Structure 1
């Protein structure tokens, strides 16, 4: 099977949007002290800037599952399962080393942040075993995890090792291991595995003709969003954040949309995957200059991911020095990006930097994509 355009376009779109969130995290003036989804302090523009990027992680994880299914069908199952295991372990290693250094620029690695690449890597390791099951069993398991993990209690242990193990699997947590080491589990494996399994179960749809799968994607996206609306309006199960009538209609709508990502709630997953399925459907037969431009990023997702983090962090340091700070002003230590508290730019400036960054990465991604395609004999290129 040839590459599927809708997958590449959708992955590319969320990769471009993802960079916006990371530029905001490191460069926006109030990002160090203000939660953009806190309705008591946010603005609609800031809330939506953060909210739209919620689409990124579940789409990455979901499409990783879909790609795993397609790979299993193209190649010998046993060989591909071994590749999934190896790729998963490589992604975890990259998260702990190359990517964490990009987050913090700290050669001492005093902060280890387990984010989406850790979740995808761990998910692929588990999927290398789970994929032996029939696809419908995988789908049922995914539904059970996505719909039911919210019933689990917070870590029911006092022993720190047991709490850490529980958090790796089920819950977000921070562990101050020592004054020189902090470990943050932001993406626990099991909730995100459920999303990956749903993506895996969607794989057979992509063996249908383009018109049929577009109809299926529209239909599934509509079902997901309808389920979200029904459950959200009931305001009972599906998300720990209840919505409430606010001071005006705009903020009431923001309250309805304000769902929980850490870990991904049922409502968060329904909303974001519903939107992702609609994007997949729209991209299924859309061939124009924009989709061809986007595909360049989608063909080299890991290369782009690593490169953009280093670029964003370097841009943050450039901003700090251009605003008159010196090396002595740069803070260090656990949970510190190295940005002085007074440094930063406006939200409008964030959008300008984001646009420039994405455009600057285009020629590098195009070069690497061509190099990778021209050298299939270089095995390690399959992992980046």
Structure 2
């Protein structure tokens, strides 16, 4: 079995570590609302910059999921790869519904949050249906979805219309009424993300052993640079791909914040150009750094992403409920800190404690390939 590609694990680990920052905000700073996209006129610059960095997480992770699916397929038959993608997709969707929704809102909560883990699960199942197609077809499908889905933005269905639930899951972030008083919130409409995972799968051959490292690096530099150039050109025209940016009088900083305030739910074309273009360049940077301590540590997080995701969210909720039980509501109806700086303090303080069990699990997973269910974490 081929060795894992350290740069992929490290890049996946980097976005997992960045994601921790946003989840800490949702733990200790939730009383300060964050719009999508962030309002450049009113947002705290420190919070804005953190959210901008965290924007890299979902696009890069889902694109790398497509790459990983391709590499899995080089060691398995098409039928085995499809079966794995479907089974893992279903496992992820089950985790979102049966554990993560209750983790955040309590077992008595009537809300099912269809967030990123649900989205990845759906994307994997759709990818399973597509991977038999020729690579050029997959590239075309991915590009059409990513580049063209904003043309669908004007389509807004009402809850009383027959196709509303399907459209809410595909492209319209909304609330779906369910039986027994439950509701589902489609935080991550899946259509654009399907395009991202398909494109990730389509560039999978770049990671084959026969492709020289420098050749791969050159391809990603060209790809990432081209995406960022297209982002700037489209953003300057304000014509397509996201809501227009604007000039904030007497504030160059807030004008720049408006320029980079992009829509994530669902991800706009410009959001994906910026984040995936940056991700391509980060991958090259990590490959050139090599297997140094920082890259190796990030690769640990990226080698056991599902474990880290479930573990750190569980720890954060336990910390929150413990703080609420001791001090009660300190910010309106929730417990929270008054200054975003304390979120950064918690972030710095939790990385190592979260790293240690993740590293232990990652070593256990690597040493026990005979345990089939471990590959789903």
Question: Aligned-residue CA RMSD in angstroms?
Answer: 1.9
Match of 1:220 among 214, 219, 223: 223
Task: Report the CA distance between 1:40 and its aligned residue.
Answer: 2.8
| Pair 156,309 (structure 1): closer, same or farther in 2 beyond 3 Å | same
- Report the alpha carbon displacement of residue 178 of structure 1 after superposing the two structures with TM: 7.5
In the alignment, which residue of structure 2 is the partner of 1:190?
191
Deviation at 1:290, TM superposition (A): 0.6
Q: CA deviation at 1:121?
A: 0.5
Partner of residue 15, structure 1: 16
Out of 235, 250, 255, the residue aligned to residue 252 of structure 1 is 255
- Cα distance, 1:162 vs structure 2: 2.2
The answer to whether the 8 Å contact 2:111/2:184 transfers is yes
**Aligned pair in 2 of structure 1 residues 188, 303: CA closer, same or farther (>3 Å)?**
same
1:344 aligns with 2:361: no
- The match for 2:245 among 222, 243, 250 is 243
Residue 293 (structure 2) pairs with residue 289 (structure 1): yes
Deviation at 1:5, TM superposition (A): 1.1
SS in 2 for 1:284: helix
Query: Could you say which residue in structure 2 is the equivalent of 1:334?
Result: none
User: Aligned-pair distance for 1:157?
Assistant: 5.0
* Distance across 2 between alignment mates of 1:180 and 1:19: 32
Q: How far apart, in 2, do the equivalents of 1:319 and 1:158 lie? A: 38
Q: C-alpha distance in 2, partners of 1:161/1:173? A: 15
Give, in angstroms, the shift of residue 188 of structure 1.
1.4
1:64-79 to 2 correspondences below 5 Å: 64-79=65-80
Query: 1:247-267 deviations in whole A, cap 9, x for unaligned?
Result: 311111111100100100000
- Per-residue CA deviation, residues 148-206 of structure 1 (Å, 9 max, x unaligned), is 11111333355355211111122211235479423100111211101111111110111
TM-score of the superposed pair, with normalisation by structure 1: 0.92
Cα deviation code 1:258-302 (max 9, x no counterpart): 010010000000000001111111111322111111111110000
The SS at the match of 1:341 is coil
- CA deviation after TM superposition for structure 1 residue 319, in Å: 2.8
Q: Secondary structure at the match of 2:248?
A: coil
Counterparts of 1:9 and 1:29, CA distance in 2? 29
Q: Could you say which residue in structure 2 is the equivalent of 1:382?
A: 375
Q: Structure 1 residues 315 and 340 mapped into 2: Cα distance closer, same or farther (>3 Å)?
A: farther
Q: Deviation digits for residues 298-337 of structure 1, max 9, x if unmatched?
A: 1000000011111111122233234x22xxx69xxxxxxx
Identify the residue that residue 132 of structure 1 maps to in structure 2.
132
1:188-227 deviations in Å (ceiling 9; x for gaps): 1211101111111110111212111111111110011001
